[in-house]
Amino acid sequence: MHLKGKVWKFGNDIDTDAIIPARYLNTSDPKELAKHVMEDADKDFPSKMQAGDIIVAGKNFGCGSSREHAPIALKAAGINAVIARSFARIFYRNAFNIGLPIFESTDASEHIQEGDAIEIDAGNGTVKNLSAGKEYSAKPIPPFMRELISAGGLIEWTKNKMKGAA
């Protein structure tokens, strides 16, 4: 799978309150959540981003609350993928569970600039910066997370497992 898009850059420690503020959590409708994505990090973000764009951030992306609404809002808004130097633990699980592609790469996080066009090869973790003509590598996706993805997410994986046990 190749993920191609234009980059929006964010800094370190982007918390889930910035990704989707709690004042909008009286619903879990992905379309409603998408309207406010990243609003407290950049209030114009929901209007200026386009479906297919990619977020590149610093360390500890998605820290704070366990709200799955955060990756859901990003996915529903059409964010193609998130690259960060590191991800907070619960956000990392949630992203895989709901099918938002995420990649860890210090090089990509440091060198990619806002507005760059990039292409990620999800299979081998290669990140190509089409604007700068450079290439970076992301950490390979752990085997178990690949298993979750190929099963179609955690619920499908659990279904298969429970069937196997029955």
Partner 1 sequence: MMTITEKILAAHAGKDEVVAGELINAKVDLVLANDITAPISITEFGKSGAAKVFDKDRIALIPDHFTPQKDIKAAEQCKMLREFSKKHQLSLYFEVGRMGIEHALLPEQGIVVPGDLVIGADSHTCTYGALGAFATGVGSTDVAAAMASGECWFKVPESMKFIYYGKLNKWASGKDLILHTIGDIGVDGALYRAMEFEGEAISGLPMYGRLTMCNMAIEAGGKNGLIVPDTITEEYVKGRAKRPYKFYYSDPKASYVEVKEYDCSKIPLTVSCPHLPSNTKPAQELSGVTVDQVVVGSCTNGRLEDLREAAQILKGRKVNPNVRMIIFPATQLIYKQAMHEGLMDIFIDAEAVVSTPTCGPCLGGHMGILAKGERAIATTNRNFVGRMGHPESEVFLSNPAVAAASAVLGRIGTPEELGL
User: Contact residues for partner 1 (CB under 8 A)?
Assistant: 13, 15, 17-18, 21-23, 25-28, 39-41, 43, 59-60, 63-69, 72, 86, 88-90, 93-94, 97-98, 144, 153-155, 157-159, 161-162
User: H helices of 49-142, where?
Assistant: 69-77, 89-98, 106-111
User: DSSP 3-state assignment of 100?
Assistant: coil
Residue 38 Cβ, how far from partner 1 at the closest point, in Å? Answer: 11
Nearest to 3 by CA among 69, 79, 71: 79
Tell the smallest beta-carbon distance from residue 74 to partner 1 (Å). Answer: 13
**CA–CA distance, 75 with 53 (Å, rounded to integer):** 11
Question: Which CB sits closer to partner 1, 36 or 128?
Answer: 36
Nearer to partner 1 by C-beta: 10 or 129?
A: 10
Nearer to partner 1, 2 or 89 (CB): 89
By CB atoms closer than 10 A (0-12, 13-18, 19+), residue 13 is: middle
